[in-house]
Structure 1
Amino acid sequence: MRRRTLLAGALAAAPLAAGCSSGDGASEAASARGRTTLSYGIWDVAQAPGMQRIIKAFERENPEISVEIQLTPWTSYWTTLRTSMRGGTAPDVFWMNAVNIQLYAANGALEPLSEHIARDRTPLGRHPEALVDIYAYEGRQYGLPKDFDTIGLWYNKALFDKAGITYPDSSWTWDDVRDAARELTNPRTRVYGIAAEMDRQAKFYPTVFGAGGYVLRDGRSGFADQRSVEGLRFWTDLVDRGWSPPQSAMSEVRARNLFLSEQVAMNYDISAMASFMYGTPAIKDHGGVAVLPKGRERATVIHGLANVVSAKSRKKQAAWKFVDFMARREAAEIQAEGGVTISSYEGTQDAWLKSMPEFGLRCFIDMLDYAFPYPSSRNTAVWEDQEYLLLGAPFSGKGGIEQAARTLAQQMDRALDEEGK
C-alpha cells in the first residue's frame, strides 16, 4: 500500500529509540543545567488557548520542563509530521486520531506507554473504554485520550415550529426522521428536511451500527452485510425522495453549513461542532440536539484525540510526564472549561455542558452507553478513500446502493489483505 510505504520510508530514515530511557541520556543530561523544552504538535487553533492553560498548569507542577506548542493546520498536519519524522524534528508529543494510530504504531513511530501507565498508575479507567481501545495496538497502549465526541441529531426549532412538528427526543426512530424530513422539506423556500451528506463519522458509520451491521470486524469488511446496506439505504432514500440535497449539491458546501444557514432543518453532527453552532446567532437562539434516532438498535460513534509520544523523542521522560498530566483530572477540567470539546475524563464534562446551556448537550454524554469505536485498521485511509469513490453515486441520487456496498466490501477486503503482507 502506497500510504504505508511512504510512512515506513520516513521512519526508516533514522533509527528508532526503544525504551523509556533509551535516547534520553545525552539530551536530558545536557538540559540538566536548565529546563527541558518539549515540543507539542496540535492542529486545532480553537483548542490552542485551552492547551496553553494546561501547559501553564503542568509547568507550575514541573518547573524543570517547559512546553512549546507547534500548531499545524489540519490540511498539512500529517504531511508535515511525516516530513519531520524523516528529518528527525518531529514533536516530542503530538495529537493522534483513530485513522492513523495503527499505522504509526505498527511502523514504530510511537513510544509504547503501557509500562509507564502501570508504573505511574495513570487513571486510564476514567476515560471511556471504547475510546481507550482505539489507541491500543497489539496489546499495548500507545495513546492517552484527551477528549471525545459522539454524534447527535441537531435540529432547528424555528423550522420545526413552522411545520408544526414536535422536536426530536429519545423516543425517535428512523421512521420519525423520515416522516419529519418529508414534512419539513419545502421546495418553494429551498429548505430540506435533513442533509444526507456522505460523512462517514457523522452519518453512515453510526447508522450502519444502528442497523445492526458493521464496518470492520476481524479484519474483514462489513459493507456487504445486508444490515449495513440497510443503514446506508436510510440515507440514500432521503436523497432519492428529495428530502435531502443530493451529494452533488454539497460538493463545495458542507451539510453543516447548510444547517447553520437554515437551509436544512436536521443534521447529524459531532459534539465538537457545538461551539460553532453556538457562535451562529440563529442556531444559538433556536437550535437543539437529541440522541440519534433508533434503527434496529441504538448506536452512535465515539471518536476523540489522544496524546502520543514520539519514538524518536530524546526527551521521553519529560514527554511522558506531560502526557500523563494531560490524562488526569486537573488538565481535563481546564480543557472542559474552554467549551471547545468534551473532556474524556469521567466526571469533568459539566463545565462543557454549562458553557452552552441553550442546547441541552447532555445527550452526547448519555450516548456513551451505546457508542461504537470509530472503525480503523493499520491502513484505514486506504479503504476509507474507496468509500467516497464507490458510494458517491448512490448518495447523489443515482441509486444502486446495494451493488456499490458489495463492490466497496470487495475493494476494502483487498486493502485489508494487503495490510497483512
Structure 2
Amino acid sequence: MPQPSDQHRMKGRVRSARPAVAAAVAAGLVLAATGCGSGSGSGSGSKASGGPVNLTYRIWDSTQQTGMQHIVDAFQQANPNIHVRIELVANKEYWTKLQADATAGSAPDVFWMNGPNAQLYESNKQLLALSSNVLKQNGVDLANYPAALNQLYNLGGTQYGIPKDFDTVGLWYNKKLFDAAGLKYPDASWTWQDVQNAAKKLTDASKGQYGILAPPYGQENYYDTIFQAGGYVIAPGGKSSGYAKPEAQAGLKFWSDLVKDGYSPSLKSMTDTFAAQQFESGKIGMYYAGSWNCMEFSKSDTIKDSVDVAVLPQGVKKATVIHGLANVGYAKTKHPAEVEKFLAFLGSKQANEIEAKDSGVIPAYNGTQQAWVASFPNFHVQSYLDELPYAVAYPTSKNTSAWQNQEAAVLAPAWDGGEDIGTAAQQLATMMNTALSKEQ
C-alpha cells in the first residue's frame, strides 16, 4: 500500500508495512519504514474480438472482494460477451507474485496498482498505456478524479491507471480527554502550535496518558508536516531527496520533539504496539490517522463513542498527503480493447457508487464520496474530503522501496533521543540520493 501507511492499500492502500516494522525491530532495527494471465498479445487500441472474451482481475483485499464482484456483475450485465474473473491474492504475496507473472508474460489482464510501484512497472513496460484517444473513446474524463491522484499514474505525460479510491490523513482526538482538560476540540483553524499546546495539557504521566502518538510513519505523520513546512520528500523529476532541506527537517522535528518532550509514548512503546491500537486504549489525546482507520475506530467498544476527526493542523501552509489505488491493464494482454472497456467501467460513476456502499473505501470519482461519509454517521469524516483542495501526491520514484523502506530505520535514533534530527535527516538524504542516482 509503500510506507507503513499503505496498510489498507497494499490497503491498504501505500494501503501493509506494519508487519515489516515489527520484523525490522526483531532484526535489530528499532523501527522499520512503512488465475491465469493473458499472455502476450497485440498492443493497446486493437479492435474487440467480437466473440466471448475472458478477463482476469487481480485484487488483494478480501474485505473489498464482495464490492468488486458487484461491480463486475454490473459490467457483465452491460457487456455479456466479456466475462471477468476476480482473482484474490493475499497482500503479503501480491507484489512478489505480480512481478513474477508480469516478467513471465502471464500477468492478469487487469490489476490493482499503487503509487510506489507504478513507475517501476511502467519502466518495465508492463502497464497498458491509456492514450487520450483511448480514454475519450471509452468515455473517461480524468477531470472526474482528484488531480493529485491522477498525477501518481501519469508517467511521462501518458496515463497508465484510472483512479479507484483514495485516502487522506486527519487529526483524530479523544473528546473525553479534551473535556477533562478543558480544551476546545480541534478545528480547521488549528496550527502546529495548537497541537503542541494541547499535547502538553493532555499528557498525564501518572495516569499513563499521553497527548499524542508520534511514531515515525511517513504518510500519516512526517510526509504531511514536511509538505506543511513548505518542503518536499523528493524533488520534482525524482532525482534528489528533500531531506537535507531545512523545511523537511522542520517537518521531522515537529514529531521528534513531541517524543522528546514526553507528550508521546516512547519509540519502543510505539514499536511494540501499533499506534492505532494505542489510540483505541482511550489514553491518547490525539492521533494522525488515515481514512482507512475509520472502520476500525467505528467498531472499537473503547473509543467509538468518544472520538472524532478534524482536518490536519497547518504549518506554514495546509497540506495532506493523498494516496490511492488505480486499476491498470497489463501491457501484454491479448484483449486490450476489452481491458480498456473494463477499466473505463471500473472508473465510472456507477462503479464508484457501488464501491462507496460495499467496499469501505473512499471512491475516487468526484461526487460519489458521500455514501462513504454517510457510512460513518458518528464521525466527521467529511474532514478527509475537505482536505482535497490542498492534497499533495504521495512521494514516489521509479524504485520507491529502495529508499522508502529505510526511512524510519534511519530516523529511529533521532526519535529515540540518541541523535539530532538534522543529523539523521542528512544521513537519510545521502542514502536516498544514492538510491535515486541508480534509477537514472
Aligned residue number for residue 337 of structure 2: 317
CA contact (8 A) 1:339 1:355 kept: no
Return the alpha-carbon distance in structure 2 between the equivalents of residues 17 and 56 of structure 1.
26
- Describe how 1:76-155 pairs up with structure 2 within 5 A: 76-114=93-131, 115-155=133-173
Instruction: Name the SS of the counterpart of 1:284 in structure 2.
Output: coil
- Describe how 1:255-294 pairs up with structure 2 within 5 A: 255-294=275-314
Deviation at 1:399, TM superposition (A): 3.5
CA contact (8 A) 1:204 1:232 kept: yes
Deviation at 1:86, TM superposition (A): 3.5
Return the alpha-carbon distance in structure 2 between the equivalents of residues 279 and 204 of structure 1.
27
Deviation at 1:93, TM superposition (A): 0.6
Aligned residue number for residue 228 of structure 1: 248
CA contact (8 A) 1:192 1:244 kept: yes
Deviation at 1:222, TM superposition (A): 0.7
Return the alpha-carbon distance in structure 2 between the equivalents of residues 109 and 196 of structure 1.
38
Amino acid aligned to 1:370: Y
The answer to which of 294-303 and 188-197 deviates more is: 188-197
Deviation at 1:81, TM superposition (A): 0.8
1:50-82: per-residue Cα shift (whole Å, max 9, x none)? 111111111111111122211122222101111
2:327 counterpart (307, 311, 321): 307
CA contact (8 A) 1:309 1:319 kept: yes
The answer to which of 172-181 and 254-263 deviates more is: 254-263
Aligned residue number for residue 397 of structure 2: 377
Scaled by the length of structure 2, what TM-score is found?
Answer: 0.87
Gaps of 5+ in 1: 1-13
CA contact (8 A) 1:332 1:343 kept: yes
Return the alpha-carbon distance in structure 2 between the equivalents of residues 398 and 46 of structure 1.
41
Return the alpha-carbon distance in structure 2 between the equivalents of residues 18 and 376 of structure 1.
30
- Describe how 1:158-197 pairs up with structure 2 within 5 A: 158-197=176-215
CA contact (8 A) 1:185 1:191 kept: yes
- Describe how 1:17-28 pairs up with structure 2 within 5 A: 17=41, 19-20=43-44
2:57 counterpart (34, 40, 44): 40
Deviation at 1:234, TM superposition (A): 0.2
1:179-199: per-residue Cα shift (whole Å, max 9, x none)? 111111122221211111111
Deviation at 1:48, TM superposition (A): 1.3
1:63 counterpart (80, 90, 115): 80
Deviation at 1:338, TM superposition (A): 2.5
Deviation at 1:140, TM superposition (A): 0.6
CA contact (8 A) 2:231 2:247 kept: yes
1:25-47: per-residue Cα shift (whole Å, max 9, x none)? 8xx57xx2xx4221111111221
Percent same amino acid among aligned pairs?
44
Aligned residue number for residue 363 of structure 2: 343
1:204-260: per-residue Cα shift (whole Å, max 9, x none)? 101100111111113211111101101100000000011111222122321111112
Amino acid aligned to 1:81: L
Return the alpha-carbon distance in structure 2 between the equivalents of residues 55 and 15 of structure 1.
22
Give 1 or 2: higher helix fraction: 1
- Describe how 1:402-421 pairs up with structure 2 within 5 A: 402-420=422-440
CA contact (8 A) 2:39 2:107 kept: no
RMSD: 1.8
Deviation at 1:391, TM superposition (A): 0.6
Deviation at 1:390, TM superposition (A): 1.0
Deviation at 1:113, TM superposition (A): 0.9
CA contact (8 A) 2:39 2:334 kept: no
CA contact (8 A) 1:191 1:263 kept: yes
Deviation at 1:341, TM superposition (A): 0.9
The answer to which of 282-291 and 236-245 deviates more is: 282-291
**Number of residue pairs the alignment of both structures matches:** 400
Return the alpha-carbon distance in structure 1 between the equivalents of residues 362 and 221 of structure 2.
20
Aligned residue number for residue 7 of structure 1: none
Gaps of 5+ in 2: 1-37
Amino acid aligned to 1:44: D
Aligned residue number for residue 361 of structure 1: 381
The question of 1:73 aligning with 2:90 is answered yes
Scaled by the length of structure 1, what TM-score is found?
Answer: 0.91
Aligned residue number for residue 389 of structure 1: 409
Instruction: Name the SS of the counterpart of 1:295 in structure 2.
Output: coil
Return the alpha-carbon distance in structure 1 between the equivalents of residues 369 and 123 of structure 2.
33
Aligned residue number for residue 16 of structure 2: none
Aligned residue number for residue 8 of structure 2: none
